[in-house]
């Protein structure tokens, strides 16, 4: 059994992996490598799903984690965090819709939505890593859980 304390690192790794897979998927579709694109996007969805499960497990066990940074970094952190959370919430049904349309071969509806969802998904994945770094590494006192 793994310790719950390792979950934030696992979450950040899953977010980073998702971002890499999304970027590769984009490159592959631009090269018309459909199967490679499909595999990357399915893996990105899978890593994002694993992230969500791990994130929920962690926060059910630990609660919220207080950010201890002061000064200018504080509003920067909360701006990133709030935009990350709001876009992540919006992203879930959109990503499911894009995935469904792509898997069903409904490319005329898949493509325009995917062009809007990809940047949002990349932003959510990358800001997830940035929030993790700020919360657990750049301001390590922040790892004190709040209930």
Inter-residue contact 68 to 142 (CB < 8 Å)? yes
pLDDT digits (tens, 9 = 90+) for 1-60: 788 999 999 999 999 999 999 999 999 999 999 999 999 999 999 999 999 999 999 999
44 token code pair? 């990105």
Which pLDDT score, from 0 to 100, does residue 145 have?
54
CATH code: domain of residue 67:
1.20.120.80
CA distances from 76 to 40, 130, 144 (A): 31, 11, 20
CA distance 32 to 28: 6
* 7 Cβ contact partners less than 8 Å away, ≥ 6 residues apart: 54, 55, 57, 58
Confidence of residue 142 (pLDDT cuts 50, 70, 90): very low
Q: Which domain holds residue 72?
A: 4-146
Domain total of the chain:
1
pLDDT digits (tens, 9 = 90+) for 90-117: 999 999 999 999 999 999 999 999 999 9
Which pLDDT score, from 0 to 100, does residue 25 have?
98
């Amino acid at each position: 059994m793994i310790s719950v304390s390792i979950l934030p690192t696992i979450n950040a790794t899953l977010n980073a992996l998702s971002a890499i897979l999304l970027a590769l998927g984009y490159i592959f579709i631009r090269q018309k490598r459909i199967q490679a694109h499909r595999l990357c996007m399915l893996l990105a969805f899978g890593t994002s799903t694993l992230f969500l499960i791990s994130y929920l497990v962690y926060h059910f066990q630990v609660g919220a984690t207080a950010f201890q940074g002061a000064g200018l970094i504080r509003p920067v952190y909360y701006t990133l965090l709030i935009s990350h959370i709001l876009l992540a919430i919006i992203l879930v049904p959109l990503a499911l819709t894009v995935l469904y349309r792509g898997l069903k071969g409904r490319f005329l509806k898949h493509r325009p939505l995917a062009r809007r969802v990809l940047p949002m998904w990349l932003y959510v994945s990358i800001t997830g890593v940035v929030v993790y770094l700020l919360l657990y590494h750049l301001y390590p006192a922040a790892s004190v859980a709040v209930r």
